[in-house]
Structure 1
Amino acid sequence: MKKIYYLSTCSTCSRIIKELGLTPDKIAMQDIKTEPITAPQLEEMKAMSGDYESLFSRRSMKYKAWGLGEKNLGEADYKKYILEEYTFLKRPVIIWNDQIFVGNAKAVVEAAKVVIG
């Protein structure tokens, strides 16, 4: 499977999609704002990444607004919040066959570039 979970309003996601040459004919594209991720999709991402925490974005403005920094979050919390609010998913998430690339760190994008070609 080849799929990207992204936010169309995110300039960083747009830049990465362009940099990697990702187009709808190459990869299934899901804008998580207009088409929220489902529990089975999140389960699949978790199975590939190892845990929900690696998929969770602490950069979300709602992270501070909801006071999550003061809470001791566990895996069940990360899952709940990601499903509840799309901004808590670290973006973009690229699934390319049996590999997953989570987030926009330079090393992650470079690794995706090597695999995608």
Structure 2
Amino acid sequence: MKKIYYLSTCNTCSRIMEELDLPKDFQLQDIKTQPITKEQIEEMRNLTDSYESLFSKRARLYKELDLKNKSLTEDDYKKYILEHYTFLKRPVILIDNNIYIGNSKKIVEAAKKTLNE
């Protein structure tokens, strides 16, 4: 599977997608207009080490809900991601059985390398 979960209003996501020069067979899912399903988050979780690794601690709601001062479980991370798109660290890129989470230069380069193999 080749898929990217992104936010169309996010300039960073747009820049990364342009930089990756995604092939036409890539599925694009704007998580604001097409919310993530339970099956999709579980699929992502199976490719990484935790729901926490998919969770964005930079989200405005994270600060507003004072979540940094709460002890969150894996179920909490999953619940928050499913409740509001802003909690998914973006973009999430799936290429076959590989997952690339976030927008760090290192992650984007690794995704690019896999795409060009």
Q: Which runs of 5+ in 1 are unaligned?
A: none
**Alignment TM-score, normalising by the size of structure 1:** 0.97
- State the partner residue of 2:9: 9
Matched, 1:60 2:24: no
Question: How far apart in 2 are the matches of 1:50 and 1:41?
Answer: 15
What is the CA-CA distance between 1:86 and the residue it aligns to?
0.3
Question: How far apart in 2 are the matches of 1:113 and 1:26?
Answer: 15
After superposition, residues 46-85 of structure 1 pair within 5 angstroms as 46-85=45-84
What is the CA-CA distance between 1:3 and the residue it aligns to?
0.5
**Alignment TM-score, normalising by the size of structure 2:** 0.97
Q: Deviations over 1:64-88 (max 9, x none)?
A: 0011011011101000000001000
Aligned length: 116
Question: How far apart in 1 are the matches of 2:22 and 2:54?
Answer: 21
Q: Which runs of 5+ in 2 are unaligned?
A: none
Matched-pair identity in %:
59
- State the partner residue of 2:42: 43
- State the partner residue of 1:18: 18
